[in-house]
Amino acid sequence: MALHHAVAGEVVDLRPLGASLADATTAALAKTEQFEAVRLVLPRGKTIPRHAVSGQITLFCLEGRVILHAGREIELGAGQWVYLERGAPHAVEAVEESALLLTIMFDR
Residue-wise pLDDT for 54-94, tens only, equals 999 999 999 999 999 999 999 999 999 999 999 999 999 99
Q: From CA 103, how far away is CA 38, in angstroms rounded? A: 6
Split at pLDDT 50, 70, 90, the class of 2 is: low
User: What average pLDDT does range 6-23 have in this prediction?
Assistant: 91
User: What average pLDDT does range 12-29 have in this prediction?
Assistant: 92
Q: Is the pTM of this model over 0.75?
A: yes
CATH of domain 21-105: 2.60.120.10
For residue 107, what pLDDT is reported? 84
Q: Count H helices, E strands: the chain?
A: 0, 9
Strand partners, 91: 69
What number of other Cβ atoms are within 10 A of residue 100's Cβ? 24
Percentage of the chain lying above the pLDDT 70 cut: 96
Residue 1, pLDDT above cutoff 70: no
Number of residues written out for the chain:
108
- Helix, strand and coil content of the chain, in percent to the nearest 5, comes to 5, 50, 45
